[in-house]
Structure 1
């Protein structure tokens, strides 16, 4: 039996996917979540085989951040990102975050079921399938150093700290929000600046803006 957690901020969507999955003999939904932090907590606790993750889940941590953090906390987890965005940039970010699958909300029911079965076996599932060669080529270029992608160097926590620093939060304010010590935040900041070869806060803000880390919603 494939154990599944669904993470989506729309109750109707969660309910529909849950009924679809539970109608199958080889899989079941063991829990649902309505935002990224919930998805992280429940996945770490229950350790499902597959997480079906919505990309956009305001408020709270979005599906991309939750995917990156889950792969750090539970490396063996298989995550399928479910989204409305059929965009090359989104696909790149999702796969770099560690997702095993990418499927559109406009896909057929059977496509989602196939995706769940596929990733639960340790394989990748991309929709549409025609993007697979393109994604593999892109990731190969990153591995070969032909494409520079600094955000791939950062952990999920470092990316979160970078975003908050760029938005003007002080080290103390970030520490309070993330329930960490100021010393830990200062350490994260130093590592971020070193990894990205940044020297000043204006450079940090410019970098965050360029890489889409200044979403204030």
Structure 2
């Protein structure tokens, strides 16, 4: 069961600038350490602690903290992300700072894109770094801004999409014949079917057949989509 101190919900916390911080961490020693860290800061107030994702959600709803330090893995793998995802709907104004043992791009990407996370920190971070993160998250929350997290989400999303597209492209590349590679080279040069047929000394119908095969391999409807993907990934040099 989570624990939290009694507070009067009618108190205007914004005017006093006291930051109420809750902790969700399944390791007893770390949970106590983070809680004591908050209690020892004059501008912060400990809002309670939880040891599981379900308890974290219950704590956030009852204790009404401004910021929650949320362990990513508690009861189960990514339990914290699931809890934060629920809180994104139930308490969208809550600022969540994820705590993780190590920096895993896949996990961080999921954490940022599925939740209202403000930041993430490795658990071994110095107390001063954690405090600064809490203060920054609180300021963003107070002013209705999430510029940092929005930029991070956007960047993680962009990188993930690029990674997926590159993996897809490389899988197709291994299936291409030399003739199909030559067709792609001509597509990148904006050649028309008639020009391709003349340069390759074949009938236009042969070029059209090769293009149709290419489109099927890429799962695309137009040759412009193939050219755009290659340029987006900056891999046109492969066909030079």
64, 72, 87: which is aligned to 2:104?
A: 87
22, 26, 29: which is aligned to 2:39?
A: 22
Q: Determine if the alignment matches structure 1 residue 42 to structure 2 residue 59.
A: yes
Q: Spell out, residue by residue over 1:20-56, the C-alpha distance to the aligned partner (whole angstroms, 9 max, x if none).
A: 1111111111110010000001101221100100011
107, 121, 129: which is aligned to 2:139?
A: 121
Aligned to 1:136: 154
Aligned length: 141
Q: Spell out, residue by residue over 1:3-31, the C-alpha distance to the aligned partner (whole angstroms, 9 max, x if none).
A: 01100111111110111111111111111
Aligned to 1:12: 29
SS at 2:108's partner residue? helix
Aligned to 1:69: 86
Superposed displacement of residue 139, structure 1: 2.6
Across the aligned residues of Structure 1 and Structure 2, the Cα RMSD in angstroms comes to: 2.7
Give unpaired runs (5+ residues) of structure 2: 1-17, 141-145, 165-240
Superposed displacement of residue 134, structure 1: 6.8
Superposed displacement of residue 147, structure 1: 8.1
SS at 2:30's partner residue? helix
Are residues 103 and 77 of structure 1, via their aligned partners in 2, closer, same or farther at CA, if it must alter by over 3 Å? same
User: Separation in 1 of the partners of 2:111 and 2:76?
Assistant: 19
Q: Is the 8 A contact 1:8 1:54 kept in 2?
A: yes
User: Separation in 2 of the partners of 1:87 and 1:121?
Assistant: 27
Q: Determine if the alignment matches structure 1 residue 108 to structure 2 residue 121.
A: no
Q: Is the 8 A contact 2:72 2:78 kept in 1?
A: no
Give unpaired runs (5+ residues) of structure 1: 127-131, 149-217
Which is higher, the Rg of structure 1 or of structure 2? Answer: 2
Aligned to 1:186: none
User: Separation in 2 of the partners of 1:134 and 1:4?
Assistant: 23
Superposed displacement of residue 124, structure 1: 6.5
Are residues 58 and 125 of structure 1, via their aligned partners in 2, closer, same or farther at CA, if it must alter by over 3 Å? farther
Q: Which runs of 4+ in 1 moved over 6 A?
A: 145-148
Q: Is the 8 A contact 2:113 2:153 kept in 1?
A: no
TM-score (norm 1): 0.58
